[in-house]
Structure 1
Amino acid sequence: MKNVPYLRACIKESQRIYPLVIGNGRFLNRDSVLSGYQVPAGTCVSMVPLSLLSSEEHFPKAAEFLPERWIRNATDSNGQCPANDLKLKNPFVFLPFGFGPRMCVGKRIVDMELELGIARLIRNFSIEFNHPTENAFRSSLINLPNS
């Protein structure tokens, strides 16, 4: 699977545009200061990054599906390796599986299953989606298909 970086980039870009969950929530185990605000222990802090994932500030050309933003050494038409202008400006904006000690324990398995499953589907079948993509999902703590 190390030979399919574009597939991995397509998966990340689709997770950015259509995230599975709307955010994360955590209870603070100690008093903390967040953006200058004193937040006591036991407070539930919700992180809902939907607006950040579609923000031009964090993702140039955010409305477009551009998997190239996730490829480390993307080359232009001349074969040069310019700095990737589409690259994520802050690595903590896109964390579909969380980060640190509370990160999803199944992240590696999910990544591997997605990559293998999609690679096999594309290799063995001709796939089409003949439905409109506007309002393709409805939110119910996780995003569910609308059609």
Structure 2
Amino acid sequence: SEFDEQTFKNMPYLRACLKESLRIHPLVLGNARVSATDMILSGYRVPKETQIMIVYLSLINNDSYYPRSGEYLPERWLRSEVENEENPIKPRSAFVNFPFGFGARSCIGRRIVEMEMELGIARLVRNFHVEFDYPTENAFKTLLFRVPNIPLKFKFTDVEN
């Protein structure tokens, strides 16, 4: 069957896996803005037109924002099916990780990119067994962006229908 809107609504775990992957391995390391006015920020004077950068890595690897931050836990992004049940590993703040930016200057293609990733991965795992047989230590290096530091050689085997 083809994927449709209802199919996407029934894939919360895939969406959670993508969010967790973008948290652990963000494409960019931060986001920068230029201050529009003079201001005091955390007790420091910041002159107008100062470039201010948020470095995500210090936040996304901090257990006070992401409990058990060193672990890959897609469940942190799932809503509980039990009303009023608290998820102990959910992010402590909605304003810590912005893989597509935030607000008026966020990525205009965000929804399209998210949908394409979901659809592409859903089709891959529906049609193939996917294997990756390389150690993942130091899997990425940082240049202007984070890029693979190991061979991306996957083995795809058809799933028998």
Check whether the contact 1:74–1:84 (CA below 8 A) recurs between aligned residues.
no
Higher RCO, 1 vs 2 (CA within 8 Å, ≥6 residues apart): 1
Query: Structure 1, residues 44-74: CA drift from partner, whole Å, max 9, x if none?
Result: 1111010211111111111111100000125
Check whether the contact 1:68–1:74 (CA below 8 A) recurs between aligned residues.
no
Residue of structure 1 aligned with 2:31, choices 19, 24, 36: 24
Residue of structure 2 aligned with 1:55, choices 62, 66, 70: 62
Give the deviation of 1:82 after TM superposition.
2.6
Normalised to the residue count of structure 2, the TM-score between the two structures is 0.84
Normalised to the residue count of structure 1, the TM-score between the two structures is 0.91
| Distance (Å, rounded) in 2 between the aligned partners of 1:100 and 1:74 | 29
Residue of structure 1 aligned with 2:92, choices 89, 111, 116: 89
| Distance (Å, rounded) in 2 between the aligned partners of 1:66 and 1:118 | 18
- Percent of aligned pairs sharing the same letter: 54
Q: Greater strand share, 1 or 2? A: 2
Q: Does 1:127 align with 2:130?
A: yes
Q: Does 1:117 align with 2:124?
A: no
Query: Which runs of no fewer than 5 residues in structure 2 stay unpaired?
Result: 1-7, 151-161
Secondary structure of 2:142's partner?
strand
| Distance (Å, rounded) in 2 between the aligned partners of 1:74 and 1:20 | 31
| Distance (Å, rounded) in 2 between the aligned partners of 1:112 and 1:33 | 39
| Distance (Å, rounded) in 2 between the aligned partners of 1:60 and 1:7 | 21
| Distance (Å, rounded) in 1 between the aligned partners of 2:40 and 2:108 | 27
Give the deviation of 1:81 after TM superposition.
6.6
RMSD: 1.4
Q: Does 1:73 align with 2:76?
A: no
Secondary structure of 1:128's partner?
strand
Q: Of the two, which has the highest radius of gyration? A: 2
Which range is displaced more, 105-114 or 25-34? 25-34
Structure 1 residue identity aligned to 2:64 = E
Query: Structure 1, residues 65-94: CA drift from partner, whole Å, max 9, x if none?
Result: 11000001256xxxx873000011111111
User: Number of residues paired by the alignment?
Assistant: 143
